[in-house]
Structures are given as C-alpha cells and as structure tokens.
C-alpha cells in the first residue's frame, strides 16, 4: 500500500521535484557558509604560520587604530625620518604616551568597581573621601579622585600604613608574573631565535665556553669574587668552580643549579666587605638565557599558569597555597627571581640574605603556617589604591606625567577605563594632537615601502660582501682542516676533554663553511627579494604563509606542547570516563527498576522528572555553584563542604589544591547532570522491547535477573552503544564545567611536564586562539581543532555504522549483487 502511494507520487510529482532544491536551499547555503567554510578555513589555518597572529588578524577592524596602538614607529625611524614623511615627532610621542597610558589603565583597572566599592565600604576612610569614591563609581571618571589632593593623600597614607600579608604576597607575585610574561613573550615573537634553537650541547661546545674555562683557571679575581666563587662552588657541590664547569655534561646545563651559578657570576647581588661584588662575565649567558627561556622556563613552570588567578583575584591565596610555595621555591632556585636574591657576608662566607625580597618565600610560608586571614574589605581597598596609584602616580606612569606636562591635563577623559579601547576617545585625542588625517593607513603603507627599500639595500650590501669573501672562507676552512689533521687523536682527546672526535671537528668545520657560503648567502638573497617592512612584528597577515604540517609536528616535537595537547586529550577523556562509568551503571539499575512491572512503583514520572532536572540547567551556573560549595578557607567563615568536614570532625581539605579532587568534582557534576538523561533513553529502550518476549520467558520460569541478562541486555546493546558514543563525543567537548569551576586549577604531572589538571581540549584551543596573551597562536589552535575534528569524525563514523538500518543495508547489498550478476 505504502509502496503504491510512493510510486504514484513519483509519477504525478515529476514536475514538482525541482521544488526540493528550493526547500533545502537555505539549509545548504547556511550550512556551507557558517559551518563548512569555517571548517575548511580552520584546516587552512592549521597549515599556516599564524603563530604571531594578533588582534589585527582577529578583527581589530580599524587597522589604522591598530597600528597606531601597537606599531611603535620610533623604534623603526629617527625623528628626522618621520619628519621627512610629514609626521611631527612631538605629536607622535604624545600618541605613544597616550597608548602607554591606555595600556596602564587596561592593566591596572584603576576604576574597578569591586575594588572601589571596597574603599567605599572601608571604615578607616573618611566620609568625604568615600563620597568621592562613590562619585568615581557612578561616573567612571577617575578625575574626582585625581584632582582632589586631600582625598588622594588620605588614601595613599592609609594604604602605606596598612599592612596585609596576602596583599604583600600578591604584589610580589604580580611582579614575578610580569617578568615571566616578558620573558616568554620575547621568546614567542622572536622568529630568528626559534629558527636555530640553542641546545645544551651548543652551549658547552661553543668557543665561549672553552674561553670561560680558561678564565676560571688562569684569571685573577678579587677577594670578593673568590668568596662568591667558592660560595657558588659549594652551592653546586663541587670543589671549585673550574671543576664544576669542566666536568659538565651537556645535560647538566639544563639544571636550575647551572643557571643559578651562571647568573650569579654574571650579575651578582652579593655584598662582601660592604662592597658589591664585581661580575665575572659569563660569555654564554646570552645563549643560556635563550635556552632557559625556550626550554626550562617555558616548560617547568610557566608563571602565568600558576600566578594569574591570584593576581586577578579569581583565586583565593589559600587555594593552592602549597603549590604556589613550591613554584616560588623553584623560581628562586632557578635564579629566575634572582634579582630578588641578596647574598650577604656572614663570618667570611656568603649566604643568601634572609632579608629583602627573598621574603616572598618566607612570607608565603608564614601565610600558610599561620593560616593568615585578611580583612577582605581592607585588603581589597589596599589593592585598589595600589592600582589607582599605578595609573595616577607620576613616577609609576611616566607617560601620564609627560602628557600632563605637555599640556594635556585632562588626559584621563580620553582614556577608557573599562578594559577596552574607546575609539571615539582615541579619535578625538588623535585629532587634538594633530595626527588625524596625517597618520593614516596610506602613510603606514608609504613608511612600509620606504623601510622595505632601505632594508633591501642593506641586505644587498651584506650579500655583496659575503659573496666577495668566498675565498677567505675557503682559506679558513682549509686552515682548520689542516689544523685538525695536524693533531693526533690523543691531542684531540686532551684538547677537547674527550667531548669531540676528529670526525666531529671536521663536520663542524664543514658546517661552518657551508653556513657562510651557502646558507647565509641564501638568507641574504631572500632578504633582498623579500625585505621586511614596518608591519612585521605586529602584523599577522604579513606572515600568512603555508608551512605544511609544522603546526602539527610542533605538537609532537615540542615536549611541553605535546604534554599540554596530549594531556588535554587525556584529561578530557579521563574526566569523561570517570563520570560516565557510574552514570551508565546507575542508569542501568534505575531503568531496570523503573520498568520492572512486579515492583509497581508509584510516582515514577515525578522522580524521572526530578532526576532529569540537572540536565536542563545551565552548566556554567552549576559549575560556579560547585566552586562555592567546595571553596577552601581556614577561618570560621567557610563553604558548605568545609562546614560539613567540620561537622563530622574531619580536618579541612582544600579540594582545589588537589588535581584529582578537582577532577573528581568535574566528574561528579558530569555524572549528576547526565545519568537522568541516560536513564530515560534506556527506559525507552527497554519499554520498546516486545512484551511477549518477557511473557514467554516468565512462562519458562526465568527470574527477573535472568530475563534482564538474557533478554533486556542483549536487545539493549545498540542503545547502550549509542549512549556510549554520543556521551564520548559530548565529553570530548567538555568546556563549561571545568572552565567555570576553576580557571587556574592545580597542576598535575603528565609526560614529565606540569599541566593543568582540568584543562580540556576546547579550553586549550580557546586559550591559544582567544586567550589573554598578546600573541595568539591561531595556527596551533587550528591544528588542535583539526585533531579534535578527526577524533570526533572517527567516532561519528562508528556511530553511523552502528545506527544504520541493518535491513536496509542488507537490501542495498542484495540489490548491488543482483545488478552485478546482470539481473
């Protein structure tokens, strides 16, 4: 019957079939534009060098404003050159100061409402000043305070006299963090250093290392220097510094001790006999810094991973306090916060001072051990006053001072304090200083062309020189080979401490020769043909070149990145499976009960509805609520979980300090939100099984358990598989819950690196492509997206085959066979 209808419809509807295209057209067009095209571009980005893509790429739509803000022409052109292009150097300097001011406002948020509210509620502050603060809150105009000297004086005086240990620590974390961010940013944006990355072997094999050893052996040192050297030798566990450096294996270079010793020799902060000790120049310290920055610093504890949350206030200092302490300890031993280490003389030997900024460690210990509690309002007031000071104070904000002395006393009215640049305010300032219409996109292009011409000329000169010196390099090479051949194997072993063989030395000479005559020449020729302009350091589009699978291979070759990417996949999978196991178990049990007719349960639909409820509620809300539920504190004020621990007599436990406790909370939320869903799906599956099967089983004398295992389970298998695969695909995209539960979670070791314990794949993609870092790593983010796409697609294909109508597939196959047989 149905078949007949179909046939007649097809017969009669011939002329209508074209409407089918019209009906599906909107879907196809929108899908192609908003899903397919972005997917393909994501594939394309994954193969492109976009490691430097930044706001320009991401839609800082106003390119002129973008370059005005981020491209510093003074670093590229002299004042005269700028004047030659019609740009007044003074006005341009004002523009730079304006953006420096804006950046400071963005960084310190001097009008942050939460902080200002704290000041307004601070009982130590006078009514009059608090009224002023309230005006700042209402209007967002900082000048109510900045122009009122008495009020400002009162605030700064109060702040200077109020001491709070946690504020002190957070202040120091902020400064350490900014050092770290500078280091890592420099590394990330410096293309040349990543081209020929320094290895530990390079440092030891370098000429400067050998020279340095000679100096240590034969050099003359002051008494102070000798004391420092012996302190450092003892620190490194060697008899003398020469012993220490001479017996160095290349792997030892990667240690914290090595860095500490070198940087203290190079730039000591030690005091001996009342005098500051002179440095012993460590010639490879530049290489060492580059190496540490590229490897150890980046991989062992990226500071922004550990300190960010405390600095922006999203994390309580007691939350993960021991982790912070051990990270500080590590930074200290690495010498990264070395500038804050003072060596002082005690009984003729140098010891690390217990004084000075090293106290950040001691303070942290005191903070933890004494379970220090801040007065929240006063602590927030102090921090907000510091933020205002950082923006308002002349010495902290020299850009603002220069602008005010240049006559722009109302500069604050041009600055936007809500964390986003205000284009209208910027435009009016630009026209006020007379650069509107002068410094345009055309001007930037003109400057770019000029720079390119100049750079091409320079490169050509260098190239000519290199080419003309070919014979010199050849001679050098021949001399070196002759020198090597002139030595016996024993000579070589002695001279190079057994580190290099004859073959090594010859290879090195050949490499050096070919670098000078081929590689360097090619590089210069490339620079002549493609000279760099002015946009290079800030503009992504100029670097938009296809790099094949580099982004993918970087995931596997970079130890740290591999750990983070693979770790994110493993974390996501682990958190999914730990939540899913009880979820499917409970759902099976409940569905068996709910469909058991012998039990005659009442009120089932209400209970089903209740159990499904968490699934419809916003996951972000739930995660934030659970964060509050488990939050850690030591005082009498505590979260529900801590109060519960108190009630049962257990000690307080910091759930967010433990990687696994945090993960388990995520798993529990997932389980709790989803078991109701799985249960309903399974109930539907069970009720769709024919009643007659159960009846005949009952007649055969089977009990409940037997019917369940012999009839229900086998017939439920496809639905179980469906639940499994859909849940896994959903689980791989976990984002809302871990993101809102803890943005700066405890770290966990993965493949030798420390990764965030609940960072999922999507969180990592988001951080790379849209995170707070100035340098956005779109290429890598896209590569990770593609990996995620491949994994989910593979799973989709599996489910597609599982869900396929078996009868239809068999029929299609039979038809195909029949056609093949020529029927």
Task: For the segment 627-686, give every residue that binds another protein (CB under 8 A).
Answer: 627-629, 631, 636-640, 643-644, 672, 675-677, 680-685
Q: How far apart are CA 429 and CA 436, in angstroms?
A: 9
The reply to whether 321 sits near another protein by the rule CB under 8 A is no
Dihedral sign computed on CA atoms, order 37, 38, 40, 41: positive
User: Pairing mode, if any, of strands 275-276 and 747-750?
Assistant: unpaired
Residue of 771, 640, 806 whose CA lies nearest to 302:
771
The tokens for 260 are 């500490």
The reply to whether 556 sits near another protein by the rule CB under 8 A is no
The reply to whether 42 sits near another protein by the rule CB under 8 A is yes
The tokens for 24 are 């599906």
Segment near another protein (CB under 8 A); pick from 246-254, 430-438, 657-665, 722-730:
722-730
In this chain, which of 590, 659, 666, 667 binds another protein, going by CB under 8 A? 590
In this chain, which of 729, 773, 774, 775 binds another protein, going by CB under 8 A? 729
* End-to-end CA separation in angstroms for the chain: 26
CB of residue 711 to another protein, shortest distance in Å: 17
Which of residues 324 and 786 has its CB atom nearest to another protein in the complex?
786
CB of residue 566 to another protein, shortest distance in Å: 18
The reply to whether 821 sits near another protein by the rule CB under 8 A is no
In this chain, which of 41, 234, 698, 709 binds another protein, going by CB under 8 A? 41
Segment near another protein (CB under 8 A); pick from 14-22, 125-133, 290-298, 692-700:
14-22
The reply to whether 34 sits near another protein by the rule CB under 8 A is yes
List the interface residues with another protein, window 375-434 (CB under 8 A). Answer: 376, 380, 418, 420
DSSP string, 387-408: HHHHHH-TTT-HHHHHHHHTT-
The answer to whether the beta carbons of residues 304 and 180 sit under 8 Å apart is: yes
Which of residues 339 and 621 has its CB atom nearest to another protein in the complex?
621
In this chain, which of 575, 622, 665, 755 binds another protein, going by CB under 8 A? 622
Which of residues 283 and 614 has its CB atom nearest to another protein in the complex?
614
- For 42, how many CA atoms within 13 A lie in the half-sphere containing its CB? 18
User: Pairing mode, if any, of strands 349-352 and 343-346?
Assistant: antiparallel
The reply to whether 775 sits near another protein by the rule CB under 8 A is no
- Largest interatomic CA distance in the chain: 108
Backbone angles phi, psi at 745, to 5 degrees: -75, 170
The reply to whether 145 sits near another protein by the rule CB under 8 A is no
Binding mask 59-98 for another protein (x = CB under 8 A): x-x-------------------------------------
User: For residue 276, is it left (φ>0), alpha (ψ between -120 and 50) or beta?
Assistant: beta
CB of residue 42 to another protein, shortest distance in Å: 4
CB of residue 43 to another protein, shortest distance in Å: 8
Which of residues 609 and 650 has its CB atom nearest to another protein in the complex?
609
User: Is 411 exposed, middle or buried, given 0-12, 13-18 or 19+ CB atoms closer than 10 A?
Assistant: buried
CB of residue 477 to another protein, shortest distance in Å: 48
The answer to whether the beta carbons of residues 611 and 675 sit under 8 Å apart is: yes
Element (H, E) at 633: none
Q: How far apart are CA 603 and CA 448, in angstroms?
A: 76
List the interface residues with another protein, window 487-506 (CB under 8 A). Answer: none
Tell me, by CB under 8 A, how many residues bind another protein: 135
In this chain, which of 205, 213, 456, 620 binds another protein, going by CB under 8 A? 620
- Distance (Å) of CA 284 to CA 108, 198, 242, 289, 509: 37, 11, 15, 9, 21
List the interface residues with another protein, window 599-618 (CB under 8 A). Answer: 599-601, 605-614, 616-618
The tokens for 353 are 């001072």
The reply to whether 205 sits near another protein by the rule CB under 8 A is no
The answer to whether the beta carbons of residues 789 and 773 sit under 8 Å apart is: no
The reply to whether 619 sits near another protein by the rule CB under 8 A is yes
CB of residue 436 to another protein, shortest distance in Å: 23
List the interface residues with another protein, window 753-772 (CB under 8 A). Answer: 762, 765-766, 769-770
């Amino acid at each position: 019957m149905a078949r007949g209808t179909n046939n007649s419809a097809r017969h009669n509807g011939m002329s209508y079939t074209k409407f089918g295209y019209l009906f599906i057209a909107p879907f196809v067009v929108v899908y192609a534009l908003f899903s397919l095209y972005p997917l393909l571009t994501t594939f394309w980005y994954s193969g492109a060098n976009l490691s430097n893509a930044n706001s320009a790429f991401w839609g800082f739509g106003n390119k002129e404003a973008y370059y005005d803000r981020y491209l510093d022409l003074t670093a590229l052109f002299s004042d005269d050159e700028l004047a030659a292009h019609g740009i007044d150097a003074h006005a341009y300097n004002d523009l730079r100061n304006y953006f420096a001011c804006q950046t400071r406002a963005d960084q310190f948020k001097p009008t942050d409402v939460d902080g200002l509210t704290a000041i307004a509620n601070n009982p130590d502050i006078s009514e009059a000043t608090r009224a002023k603060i309230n005006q700042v809150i209402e209007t967002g105009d900082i000048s109510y305070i900045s122009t009122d000297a008495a009020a400002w004086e009162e605030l700064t005086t109060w702040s200077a006299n109020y001491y709070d240990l946690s504020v002190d620590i957070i202040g120091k974390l902020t400064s350490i963090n900014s050092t770290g961010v500078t280091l890592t940013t420099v590394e990330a944006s410096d293309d040349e250093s990543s081209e020929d990355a320094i290895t530990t072997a390079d440092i030891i094999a370098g000429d400067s290392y050998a020279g340095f050893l000679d100096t240590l052996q034969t050099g003359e040192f002051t008494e102070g220097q000798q004391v420092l050297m012996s302190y450092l030798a003892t620190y490194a566990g060697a008899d003398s510094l020469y012993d220490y450096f001479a017996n160095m294996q290349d792997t030892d270079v990667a240690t914290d001790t090595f860095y500490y010793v070198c940087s203290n020799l190079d730039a000591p902060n030690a005091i001996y006999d009342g005098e500051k000790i002179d440095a012993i120049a460590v010639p490879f310290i530049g290489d060492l810094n580059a190496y540490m920055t590229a490897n150890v610093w980046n991989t062992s504890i990226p500071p922004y991973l550990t300190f960010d949350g405390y600095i922006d206030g999203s994390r309580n200092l007691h939350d993960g306090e021991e982790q912070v302490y051990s990270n500080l300890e590590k930074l200290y031993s690495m010498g990264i916060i070395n500038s804050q280490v003072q060596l002082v003389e005690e009984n003729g030997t140098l010891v690390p001072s217990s004084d000075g900024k090293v106290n950040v460690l001691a303070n942290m210990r005191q903070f933890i051990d004494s379970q220090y509690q801040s007065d929240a309002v006063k602590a927030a007031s102090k921090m907000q006053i510091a933020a205002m000071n950082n923006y308002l104070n002349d010495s902290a904000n020299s850009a603002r001072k220069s602008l005010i002395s240049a006559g722009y006393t109302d500069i604050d009215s041009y600055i936007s304090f809500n964390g986003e640049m205000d284009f209208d305010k910027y435009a009016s300032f630009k026209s006020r200083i007379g650069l509107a219409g002068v410094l345009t996109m055309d001007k930037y292009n003109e400057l770019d062309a000029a720079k390119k011409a100049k750079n091409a000329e320079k490169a050509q000169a260098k190239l000519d020189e290199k080419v003309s010196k070919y014979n010199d390099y050849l001679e050098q090479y021949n001399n070196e080979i002759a020198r090597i051949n002139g030595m016996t194997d024993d000579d070589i072993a002695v001279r190079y401490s057994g580190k290099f063989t004859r073959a090594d030395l010859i290879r090195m000479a050949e490499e050096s020769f070919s670098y000078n005559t081929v590689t360097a020449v090619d590089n210069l020729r490339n620079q002549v043909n493609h000279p760099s302009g002015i946009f290079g350091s800030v503009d992504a589009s100029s670097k938009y070149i296809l790099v094949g699978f580099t982004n993918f291979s970087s995931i596997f070759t970079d130890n740290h990145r591999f750990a983070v990417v693979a770790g994110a996949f493993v974390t996501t999978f682990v958190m999914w499976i730990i939540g899913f196991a009880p979820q499917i178990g409970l759902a099976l049990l409940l569905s068996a009960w709910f469909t058991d007719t012998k039990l005659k349960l009442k009120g089932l639909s209400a209970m089903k509805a209740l159990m499904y409820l968490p699934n419809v509620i916003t996951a972000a809300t739930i995660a934030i609520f659970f964060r509050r539920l488990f939050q850690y504190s030591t005082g009498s004020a505590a979260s529900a979980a801590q109060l519960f621990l108190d009630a049962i007599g257990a000690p307080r436990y910091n759930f967010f300090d433990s990687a696994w406790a945090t993960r388990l909370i995520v798993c529990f939320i997932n389980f709790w939100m989803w078991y109701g869903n799985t249960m309903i799906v399974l109930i539907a599956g069970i009720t769709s099984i024919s009643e007659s099967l159960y009846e005949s089983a009952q007649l055969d004398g089977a009990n409940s358990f037997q019917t369940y295992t012999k009839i229900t389970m086998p017939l439920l298998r496809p639905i179980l598989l469906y639940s499994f695969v859909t849940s896994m695909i959903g689980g791989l995209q976990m984002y809302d819950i871990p993101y809102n539960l803890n943005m700066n979670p405890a770290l966990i070791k993965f493949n030798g690196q420390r990764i965030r314990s609940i960072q999922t794949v999507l969180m990592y993609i988001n951080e790379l492509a849209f995170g707070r870092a100035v340098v956005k790593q779109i290429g890598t983010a896209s590569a990770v997206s593609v990996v995620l796409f491949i994994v989910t697609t593979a799973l989709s294909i599996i489910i597609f085959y599982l869900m396929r109508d078996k009868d239809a597939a068999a029929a299609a196959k039979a038809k195909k066979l029949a056609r093949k047989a020529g029927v």
